[in-house]
Amino acid sequence: MKPLRDASMPSALPRERALRSYLRLVAALPRLSEAAQARLAGDAACGDERALRALVESFLPLVLVQSAARRGMGPRFETLLAAGNQALLRCLRQAPSDLGQVPKAVCLALDKAVARQRAKGASL
């Protein structure tokens, strides 16, 4: 028998649907070669917003994999994805042609999110 749920409690279903939708979107993105990424980086450095968007999208699987690796370390998975995506955007907007910095920036942001959550939990 299903337990009754208080109508005042927010449902997790919309959040779960949104996450599943995001995961499907990332899985459907085309994979780019390093040469294609380099061309996009050059275009993005010249101010091409479409190139920047394509470049960001090409790194979303990296954010997903690195976030998944830190699952269960404190922050919710969605929080990790948000931190990684913010770092990705910041890194590519600041230096789109320095693609080697992207994995480092994403991992650093995720590690900081985990550390913040642990510190928050320790102070309670």
The verdict on residue 76 lying in a domain is yes
pTM attached to this predicted model: 0.83
Mean pLDDT of 105-124: 89
In a domain, 9, yes or no: no
Say if residue 5's pLDDT is above 50: no
**Which residues span the domain enclosing 101?**
34-122
Q: Is residue 3 domain-resident?
A: no
Q: For residue 16, is it within any domain?
A: no
Residue 83, in any domain of the structure: yes
Q: Where are the alpha helices (DSSP H) in the chain?
A: 13-28, 34-45, 49-69, 77-94, 101-122
The arithmetic mean of pLDDT across residues 54-82, rounded, is 96
Domain count, the chain: 1
Instruction: Please check whether residue 116 lies inside any domain of the structure.
Output: yes
Residue-averaged pLDDT of the chain = 89
Say if 38 falls within a structural domain.
yes
Percentage above 90 pLDDT, the chain: 80
- The C-alpha atoms of residue 48 and residue 21 are separated, in whole angstroms, by 27
Q: Are 37 and 58 in contact (CB under 8 A)?
A: yes
How many angstroms separate the CA atoms of 13 and 77, rounded? 15
